[in-house]
Amino acid sequence: MPRILRDPFRPVTYSRWLHLCVPFLLLAVWMFIEPEWPWMPLLIVIPFAFLPWVRLAEGLQAQFLLTPQLDRSAESGISTTPSVRWADRWRTLLWLELRLVVAGAAWAATVWLPAMTVELIAVAMGHPLNGNPFMPFTPPRWVAVLLVPVPVVVLLVTVVLLGHLITALARRLLGPSAAERLTALEARTEQLLERTRIARELHDSIGHALTVAVVQAGAARAANDPAFTDRALNAIEETGRAALEDLERVLLVLRESSRAPSQRPTLVEADRLLASARASGAAVDAELSGPLAELPGPVTREGYRILQEALTNVLRHCGPVPVRVRVDVGPGRLVLEVSNPLPEGPQIMTGNGSGLRGIKERAALLGGDAETGPHEGGWRVRARLPLERIR
């Protein structure tokens, strides 16, 4: 069905009609005061256009009546904020003037066309017309019978077309300014970055826990030693519990974005990662030096995740091999280094490199850099994070 035929059956058509009828009050009151100057309301609204709250009120009314099916300003294309700049005030002035003009056309159609329908019915029933202003001529009775539905159809078409026109004008003149669009874009960018960070958090934390669990389970089955199996189950339990805590923190951000999530793990808790790796069978030689507790929040949190991802990659791709961990807090920088020998046999698991890419992205986000790759016959992950820029 063509759109012009569907629109008369849509509720939004009549909410737009109501929006066009609102200025009738001002026009009607003025016609009682001075009917010889019907254009005077166009001058009356000029000073109101420069009041900041008028743009807010017009935007809320337009959004509620012109686009009721769209809840948010970003979807409706109509801003609901007060005027801030003079460009907003001039656009509001143009909107008020054009709204009065379009409302005047809607008023004329709303009054004249139904009255014409009544007069045509009267002519069709044989009643004479005596100088009625709504009927400039008197058609024959049979013609009047055929013309009775025409004004109603014309009124519906007029209401639909004027509704589309006033909505387009509202989106053009009450739509967000360049500054508002930039602010919305920045907010959208921040939202996307937050989603990316949450996805990375889940990858690092849950991926680490699953890797440890898989390695522990495989080692326990191969060892066939009850004592080792008991230690492996304890390590799986602790790693799983820590992963659940991390998952709860992420879900808290998703459920209640306005509420600050609990503190994410930091390098002060690095012993938890090292113990988990040792419990998985890896011989970890760790050396942590410097004031880890005094590191800036972003550095210590991202450093923990880098260390976690590096250890996870060792267990995932090389199994329980010797691992050398160095964390050094020096003047103006934090250096994390994880190195391990490459196994002679086939790798236990393979990956698509997303973990190593995440390490480099985390380092770059803080203005640092990360190197991953073969080094002296083994594999090394080395990240350098600056401290001065973060404080």
At 135 the pLDDT is 66
| pLDDT tens-place string over residues 161-186 | 999 999 999 988 888 876 667 666 66
| pLDDT tens-place string over residues 84-106 | 788 888 999 999 999 988 988 88
| pLDDT tens-place string over residues 117-157 | 888 888 888 777 665 666 666 778 788 788 888 888 999 99
Q: What 3 state SS string does the chain have?
A: CCHHHHHHHCHHHHHHHHHHHCCHHHHHHHHHHCCCCCCCHHHHCCHHHHCHHHHHHHHHHHHHHHCCCCCCHHHHCCCCCCCCCHHHHHHHHHHHHHHHHHHHHHHHHHHHHHHHHHHHHHHHCCCCCCCCCCCCCCCCHHHHHHHCHHHHHHHHHHHHHHHHHHHHHHHHHCCCCHHHHHHHHHHHHHHHHHHHHHHHHHHHHHHHHHHHHHHHHHHHHHHCCHHHHHHHHHHHHHHHHHHHHHHHHHHHHHHCCCCCCCCCCCHHHHHHHHHHHHHCCCCEEEEEECCHHHCCHHHHHHHHHHHHHHHHHHHHHCCCCCEEEEEEEECCEEEEEEEEECCCCCCCCCCCCHHHHHHHHHHHHCCCEEEEEEECCEEEEEEEEECCCCC
At 243 the pLDDT is 75
